[in-house]
Each structure stands twice: as C-alpha cells, then as structure tokens.
Amino acid sequence: MAAWCYAWRKINGWMTDRVKEIAETERLARQAAEFGPEDAVALSRSAHALAFVVGDLDAAASFVDRALVLNPNVAGAWYASGWIRVWLGEPDLAIAHMATGMRLSPRDPHMIGMQGGTAFAHFIAGRYEEAAAWAEKAMWEQSNYLTTLLVAAASNALAGRLADARKSMMRVRELDPAMRVSKVGEWATFRRPDDLTRLKEGLRGAGLPERVGKSGSGRLCCKSLKTPGDNILVAANGALVYAKYGWRAPAQVYRKWDFGRKR
C-alpha cells in the first residue's frame, strides 16, 4: 500500500522530488511482491505502482498476471491489469479487464479509475467519441480526478469538440498548474510512441501550454498573504487558482504550494 500511495501522489500531481519518489516506489513495490508472493492484492497494487510511477511495464504485467491467477475475484487486480494493458497498447484487452473489475465490484471506490481507464483505452484505439463518453461518465463520479480530465480534454479536442475540450483543460490547469505538453511523457507511461504523440496532440489542441514559460517552473507566485479567512486569486503562468489561507486547493485537498517571488 505504501507504493500505491506514491501512485496516488503522481495521479494528483503532488510529486515534489520525482527521481527520489520513483526510486522509493520501486523499492516498496518490489519489496511487497517479495514478501507477499501469494497475496493477490499486494501483487496487483505493486504492479500498478511499478507501471505508472516507475514505468516498468514488463515487471508490472508479470506481477498482475500472477495476481489474477491467485485470485480472479479481486476487482483491484482487474483494475490494475486494465491500466497496464492501456500502457502496453492493448486497448481491447484493457477494456475487457476494466469491465470485469466493474462487474465484480459495481460500487468500488476505484470505479472512477476503471471508467477513466476505459476512456483511455478507447482513446489509444482512436475511438475519441467513445473515450469522451466514458470520461464524462467518470466525471459524474468525481469531477476533480486529473486522469479523467486529461483524457476528456484530449478526446474532445481530437473529436472536434473544442468547447468541451477547453472546459476540461481549465480544470486540469486549476488542479495542476505545472502540467505542460512537454511534461506529459513523464505522466503517461505508454510503450507505443504514437499513443503519447496523439495524447500530446489532443492536449495541445485543448489549450495545454507547450512548456513552462519564463516565469519559472510553473510555481504559484505571490508577494504576500492576507489574514486567515481571506480569499486570494493567484496567477500561475496564466492559470487562476482559487486558494484560501491554509492552502486549500479547488479539489478540497490540502496541498503545499511553493510561493516564490516573480522573476
């Protein structure tokens, strides 16, 4: 579960030291698999973290395949396997595995992840309207899930629905002001270069900036903070983020923003 926590940090754009956190994720994931070789939950969580954070798709596929053999009734194993098939470029198998997970656990807390994974599978298959439909379904569950917002933005852009694409992109930039087209390759662990190319194309069309501008690393900038309870609007390379004293982000999740002086 510790390795899985690092996966959630990446999902939500909370990583602060990418190299260190990737190394720690790999250590924890492999240790969990070593200590729990007969534990389907440990293997599937380790597989998901290895694939998404570390990018070791082959080891991840091996771990999750073993998890499914040990216990094919674990919805989380099908969920992890579905995502790993997305990153490996096997969309139809990914959709089938996500569907099995949703059937086994129709009220699963990770339902949004399975729906978002299905959307991404349709996206890499070139079925942009289906991808957008699944992304919309996922957003009914949770409107602040960065993964779903990204695939919604890219799918709608490539489907020609630019207004919907830009609406999703506005939310992406509120949740992760530092996200840029040039950094998408760090977030998405696709094995097939064309999948990453089309994702970048869609996000670019939805309005995601190409790279960090001259103002720095995408950090929020502010000269001073007001008293507790006051509301302030902070500009971060063109994206406006509504923040309160105490650093409550729009997703109602507490985050530590690094405020620095404008250059």
Architecture of domain 2-214: Alpha Horseshoe (1.25)
Q: What is the pLDDT of residue 212?
A: 66
Q: What is the pLDDT of residue 214?
A: 45
- The domains of the chain are located at 2-214, 215-263
Convert the pLDDT of each residue in 235-256 to its tens digit: 232 223 323 322 233 333 333 3
HEC per residue, 102-156: HHHCCCCCCHHHHHHHHHHHHHHCCCHHHHHHHHHHHHHHCCCCHHHHHHHHHHH
119: closest CA among 77, 150, 164? 150
Q: What is the pLDDT of residue 7?
A: 87
Q: What is the pLDDT of residue 231?
A: 31
- Tell me the average confidence (pLDDT) per consecutive run of 10 residues in the chain, 263 residues long: 82 85 92 90 94 94 97 97 97 98 94 96 97 93 88 97 96 91 91 96 96 49 34 29 31 35 33
Convert the pLDDT of each residue in 108-129 to its tens digit: 989 999 999 999 999 999 999 9
Q: What is the pLDDT of residue 219?
A: 39
CA separation, residue 206 to residues 55, 96, 154, 193 (Å): 26, 29, 6, 20
Q: What is the pLDDT of residue 249?
A: 36
